[in-house]
Structure 1
């Protein structure tokens, strides 16, 4: 089936599924943090920005459910690392980053202001 097929609706479309996994405000940023290697909760939280502990916990659980990351406990320490499936998102996120960078440059300094 062609990716532009009108028969593909949200939920059944691979693009929709991908956005379910990496979309939202935090998932892509969490994955980006873990591309650098395993991280502890506090390291992820510091790296992604102003996210509540509750929201981060929910997002980490969701990404575990999608088999994007693993949670490992060693004594009192808990760390998170990308699975092979999570690592496979590296080129996807890189292309999204490149698009965002080019788009930001084309809009100039007002890139953060919708409806400009």
Structure 2
């Protein structure tokens, strides 16, 4: 009985946010995708993040990403992945915070197909 009562609570959620134009440093969460509403999308995001390729150098401005994507564990009240994405002609560059702050970042790239999938799921609007 307890398992059924708790089964509606998400174990993973993906938060999609954008920089607030008026308040520097504020991220406005515009979409949340949970595994209870769409397990397939959450799994696909996790697979994209799992199979990304590490890159050493990037010319991206860490403070001006196209989108912020976080993977959370709401049951544990824990952030699992804190990332920023920059879409490119070849796909996307992902910066993942690897320390306490954004002073420590690891960079990765994903292909155009994976980047397009992310754009579609987050309903990304290019300027």
Q: What TM-score, normalized by structure 1, do the two folds share?
A: 0.30
Identify, as 1 or 2, the structure richer in strand: 2
Identify, as 1 or 2, the structure richer in helix: 1
Q: Which has the larger radius of gyration?
A: 1
